[in-house]
Chain A
Amino acid sequence: MIDFQIVPADFYLLLPEMVLSVGAMLLLFLELFLKGNKTVQQWTAFAIFVVALSLLLSQESSGATGFGMMVRSDLFGQFISAVVLIGGGLTVLLGKEYLVSREWHRGEYYSLLLFASVGMLFMVRGLDLLVIFLGLELLSISLYILVGYFRDRLFSNEAALKYLLLGAFASGFLLYGIAYTYGSYGTTNLNEIRTMGSPESMTFHWIGLSLILVGFSFKVALVPFHMWLPDVYQGAPTPVTGFMATTTKAAAFAAMLRILFYGFPADIAEWMPLFWFLSAVTMTVGNVIALQQSNLKRMLAYSAIAHAGYLMIGVTVGTETGAAGMLFYLLGYLFMNIGAFAVVQYFEGKDETRLDFESYAGLAKKHPLISLAMTLFMFALAGFPLTVGFTGKFYIFTTAINQGFVWLIVIAVLNSLISVYYYLRVVIYMYMKPLEEEIEFSPMELPAKVALTVCVYAVLHLGVLPGNFITLAREAVSAIF
C-alpha cells in the first residue's frame, strides 16, 4: 500500500536544514567545553549560517520534490530561505556585544537562533501542511525561549509567556483549519490539493481556509490579531526583536503565499475583499498607534504592524507581480529593520533606559556615522526615494494600481505620509536637539560594524539598482503560480 522510496537526492535537497540542525547541536557541545572567551561560538554560528546559505544557493531550483512531496526545492523557497539565513547571520553578528554587556552570552542563544531558522526553512520549503505547521511550531518554540532569554527579568518572562499563550492559541485555530481542510480534501498535501482542484465539501473547505487564515493573521500580526506584538517586541532582547521582525515575517508571509497561491489558487479572487479590508485596517491602525509612541522599540513594533499591512496589498492584488513585490519588499525590509534595531540596541545602554526619543537628542554630533545610518534606515522605512523602502513600496503600489485597487493605494499612500512623521522624529532628535547628557558608549565591535555596513549598503543598493532583484523575485513567484 505504500509505494515510497527515499533516494540520495532527497537528502541533498535538505542539506541546508541538516547543516543548521547539526550546527545547533554542535554549539551546545561547544558550550560545555568553552569557558570564558566565547567568541568562538559567534564565529561558529556565523560560519554555519554561511555554509547553509551557500548550500542553499548551490541547489538547483527546478521544483523537485523530496521525501514523498513533503518538501519542494523551488526558487520561491530559495529566495525566502536566503532572506532568513542572511537575517540569521546578521543577528549572530549583532548579538554578541549586547549579550556580553548584560553577562548573558551563552551558546543557547546561537543554538536557538539556528533551530528557529531550521523551522523557517521547513516552513517556506514544505509542501505539506504538516511540514509547514511543524516548521512554524519549531520556529515559534525557539522564539518563545529567545524572547524570554533574560530569564532573571520579569519583563522578559512576561513577554515570553504572552507570546507563548497567544501563539498556542493561534496554533489551535491553524490546526482546526488544517483539520477541516483535511476533511474536505482527504489530504494535507498542497500538491494533491492543487491537482484535485475542487473539494469534496465546499463549506468544510471554506471554514478550513478561514481558520488557517486566522492562524496566520496571528503569526504575521494583522489587525485585529496584533495585540501580542508590541509587548513581545518590547520585552524581547533587541537583537531577537530584529530577528523576529524580519525573518519571521518573511517566513510566515511566504508560507501564507504558498498555501493560498499554490494550494488554493481558485480562492484568491473570492477572498479579495477580506484581504483588502485586513490590509487597509492593519496599516492604518499600526501607523496611527505608532504616532503616539515615545519608546523607540515600541514605535518600531507598531511600524512592523503597519508594514504587514503594506505587504498584505500584495496578497490582495493576487497576481504574480503582486507577490513578487512582496518578496522584494521582504528582502528590503530585512536590511532596513535589522539595521534600525542594530542602532537601537547600540544606543539603548545596559539597563534599557535609553529607548525614548529624548535620549537620542544630539547624538549626531558624537556619533555621526551611526546617526547617519539610523537616518538612512528611518528614511527607508518611511519610503524615501533612493532607498529600498521606496522601490519596494513603489513596485507594490503601482502593481496594485494597474489592477484597479486605487482606493487601497490612496489609503496606503496616506499612511506612508503619516509614518514619515514618526520616523523623522528620531532624525530630528538626533540632529536638531541639543545633547542632554554626556554618555560614553563603548565603541562598536567589528562584527557589529560589518553587519551595520552590510545593511546600509543593501538598503542603498536595492534602492538604486533594484532591477536584478525584482527580476529574481518575479522568477521566484512563478514557481508557486
Chain B
Amino acid sequence: MESFVFYIFAFMVVAGGWVVIYSNNLIYSAFSLLFTFVGLAGLYGLLMADFIAATQILIYAGGVLILLLFGIMLTARKTSIEITQSNLPRLPGAIISSLIFLLLMVVIFSEPNWNSATNPGVKETVPVIGKLLMTKYLIPFELASILLLAALIGSVFIARREDS
C-alpha cells in the first residue's frame, strides 16, 4: 500500500517536473509545477513530516507559484518580449545533467545497507519543531527573518516605478 502511494506521488512529481522543463507554453509549465508541489507534499506526508507537508502547500503552491504566475502575466503579454538567455548547446547540457543523475544513482546504490534500522518516527512534529526553532535554532530563525526583510526591501526597490 505504502509503495503504491509512493509511486503515485513520485510519478506525479517527476512527470510534472518533466513537463515544466519540456513544455513550450509557460502556463503549462506553471500548472504542472503545481502538480509537482502537491505531489511532494504527499510524499512529505508519507515520510511523517506533516508540518513540512502543510508548509509545502502554503509556501510553494500558495506563494512561489502565484509569484511565478504573476511574473508570467506581467511580462509575457501580447508583445511577447521573451526574456531569454542564450544557454549551453543542447548536448553538453543534457550530458552534464545525466552525468549528475548517474553519479548520484551509483552513490545511492553503493550504500544499500546504510542505516536500515526501522524506527517509529516522530509522531507529532509541530511541537518539536516549534521548540527547536525557539531554542537551538533561534539564531537561524532570526537570520531568516533578516533575510526575508532584505529580500522584501530589495524587491520593492527594484520593481518600483520611477516616481518623478
Q: Do A and B bind each other?
A: yes
Residue numbers of A with Cβ under 8 A of B are 1-2, 4, 6, 14, 21, 25, 28, 67-68, 70-71, 106, 108, 111-112, 115, 118-119, 122, 128, 130-131, 134-135, 137-138, 141-142, 144-145, 148, 151-152, 160-162, 165, 200-201, 203-204, 206-207
Minimum CB distance partner of A126 in chain B: B139
Q: Is the CB of B114 within 8 A of A204?
A: yes
Q: Is the CB of B147 within 8 A of A141?
A: yes
Q: Is the CB of A134 within 8 A of B143?
A: yes
Q: How far is the CA of A165 from the CA of B86 in the complex (A)?
A: 13
Minimum CB distance partner of A208 in chain B: B107
Minimum CB distance partner of A204 in chain B: B111
Q: How far is the CA of A303 from the CA of B111 in the complex (A)?
A: 43
Q: How far is the CA of A201 from the CA of B155 in the complex (A)?
A: 42
Contacts A152-B162, A207-B104; A144 near B154 (Cβ below 8 A):
yes
Q: Is the CB of B144 within 8 A of A134?
A: yes
Would you give 17 A-B contacts (Cβ < 8 Å), ordered by A? A6-B135, A70-B136, A71-B139, A111-B153, A115-B149, A119-B147, A131-B139, A131-B140, A134-B144, A141-B151, A142-B154, A145-B154, A145-B155, A200-B115, A201-B115, A203-B107, A206-B107
Residue numbers of B with Cβ under 8 A of A are 83, 85, 103-104, 107, 110-111, 114-115, 128, 131-132, 135-140, 143-144, 146-147, 149-151, 153-155, 157-160, 162
Q: How far is the CA of A151 from the CA of B163 in the complex (A)?
A: 13
Contacts A2-B135, A151-B158; A204 near B107 (Cβ below 8 A):
yes
A135: which of B110, B143, B155, B158 is its contact (CB, 8 Å)? Answer: B143
Minimum CB distance partner of B155 in chain A: A145
Interfacial chain A residues near B146, Cβ < 8 Å:
21, 115, 118, 138
Q: How far is the CA of A119 from the CA of B162 in the complex (A)?
A: 29
Minimum CB distance partner of B131 in chain A: A2
Q: Is the interface of B mostly helix, strand, loop or mixed?
A: helix
Q: Is the CB of B136 within 8 A of A2?
A: yes
Q: Is the CB of B158 within 8 A of A148?
A: yes
Nearest Cβ on chain B to A124's Cβ, whole angstroms: 14
Minimum-distance CB pairs A-B, first 9: A145-B154, A115-B150, A70-B139, A4-B135, A134-B143, A67-B139, A138-B147, A68-B136, A207-B107
Q: Is the CB of A142 within 8 A of B150?
A: yes
Q: How far is the CA of A137 from the CA of B160 in the complex (A)?
A: 23
Nearest Cβ on chain A to B75's Cβ, whole angstroms: 12
Q: Is the CB of A145 within 8 A of B158?
A: yes
Minimum CB distance partner of B162 in chain A: A152
Interfacial chain B residues near A148, Cβ < 8 Å:
158
Q: How far is the CA of A180 from the CA of B163 in the complex (A)?
A: 48
Interfacial chain A residues near B114, Cβ < 8 Å:
200-201, 204
Known: A145-B153, A204-B107. 4 other contacts (CB 8 A): A4-B136, A138-B147, A160-B158, A204-B114
Contacts A151-B158, A201-B111; A67 near B143 (Cβ below 8 A):
no
Q: Is the CB of A70 within 8 A of B140?
A: yes
Minimum CB distance partner of B147 in chain A: A138
Of the listed residues A106, A151, A162, A206, the one surrounded by the most CB atoms of chain B closer than 10 A to its CB is A151
Interfacial chain A residues near B153, Cβ < 8 Å:
28, 108, 111-112, 145
Interfacial chain B residues near A112, Cβ < 8 Å:
150, 153-154
Interfacial chain B residues near A122, Cβ < 8 Å:
143
Nearest Cβ on chain B to A81's Cβ, whole angstroms: 15
Minimum CB distance partner of A70 in chain B: B139
Minimum CB distance partner of A137 in chain B: B147
Minimum CB distance partner of A6 in chain B: B138
Interfacial chain B residues near A141, Cβ < 8 Å:
147, 150-151, 154
Q: How far is the CA of A68 from the CA of B159 in the complex (A)?
A: 39
Nearest Cβ on chain B to A83's Cβ, whole angstroms: 21
Nearest Cβ on chain A to B129's Cβ, whole angstroms: 11
Interfacial chain B residues near A115, Cβ < 8 Å:
146, 149-150
Interfacial chain A residues near B128, Cβ < 8 Å:
1
Nearest Cβ on chain A to B113's Cβ, whole angstroms: 10
Q: How far is the CA of A144 from the CA of B157 in the complex (A)?
A: 12
Interfacial chain B residues near A204, Cβ < 8 Å:
107, 111, 114
Nearest Cβ on chain B to A185's Cβ, whole angstroms: 12
Q: Is the CB of B150 within 8 A of A131?
A: no
Q: Is the CB of B135 within 8 A of A68?
A: yes
Interfacial chain B residues near A108, Cβ < 8 Å:
153-154, 157
Q: How far is the CA of A35 from the CA of B155 in the complex (A)?
A: 22
Q: How far is the CA of A25 from the CA of B153 in the complex (A)?
A: 10
Interfacial chain A residues near B157, Cβ < 8 Å:
106, 108, 145, 151
Minimum CB distance partner of A25 in chain B: B149
Interfacial chain B residues near A207, Cβ < 8 Å:
103-104, 107
Interfacial chain B residues near A119, Cβ < 8 Å:
147
Q: Is the CB of B137 within 8 A of A130?
A: yes
Q: Is the CB of A2 within 8 A of B132?
A: yes
Nearest Cβ on chain B to A416's Cβ, whole angstroms: 32
B110: which of A21, A71, A138, A203 is its contact (CB, 8 Å)? Answer: A203
